Amino acid sequence: MTIGDFFLSISPLAGQAEGGKPFQCSYCSKEFSHLSSLESHLEHVHSGESKHVCDTCGKNFSSKSNLTAHKKIHSGKSSTL
Ligand SMILES: [Zn+2]
Ligand SMILES: [Zn+2]
């Protein structure tokens, strides 16, 4: 699937009559009233999904703050080792 196919699937006119939020994220189905909002959402929520990886257990996080919070479980007590 190319980026062109992705934008073709957005159908700007389809939802306009109903809720006024014609742009829907194809990843999480969240709706947006402006394309720029959807693009911003994709940029922040989905394009960074693999950028924040825990180097201890390999788990992925959508944001750096989530990863930082997660890492505390590794840097805490290590009595099991
Ligand atoms: Zn989304
Ligand atoms: Zn981890």
How far away, in angstroms, is 27 Cα from ligand 1 center? Answer: 5
Per domain, the residue ranges of the chain are 1-9+20-49, 50-81
- pLDDT tens readout for residues 18-65: 568 999 988 889 999 999 999 998 888 777 555 688 889 988 887 889
The residue that leads in pLDDT, 6 or 32, is 32
Give the model's pLDDT for residue 30.
Answer: 93
How far away, in angstroms, is 15 Cα from ligand 1 center? Answer: 17
| Distance (Å, whole) CA 69 – CA 81 | 21
Q: Rounded mean pLDDT of 1-22?
A: 61
Query: Does the pLDDT value for residue 4 go beyond 60?
Result: yes
User: Which ligand is nearest the CA of 32, by number?
Assistant: 1
| Distance (Å, whole) CA 33 – CA 21 | 4
What residues pair up with 19 in beta bridges, in sequence order?
A: none
CATH of 1-9+20-49, one of 2.20.70, 3.30.160, 1.10.520, 1.10.4160: 3.30.160
Query: Does the pLDDT value for residue 16 go beyond 50?
Result: no
Query: Does the pLDDT value for residue 15 go beyond 50?
Result: no
How far away, in angstroms, is 46 Cα from ligand 2 center? Answer: 20
- Does the pTM surpass 0.75? The reply is no
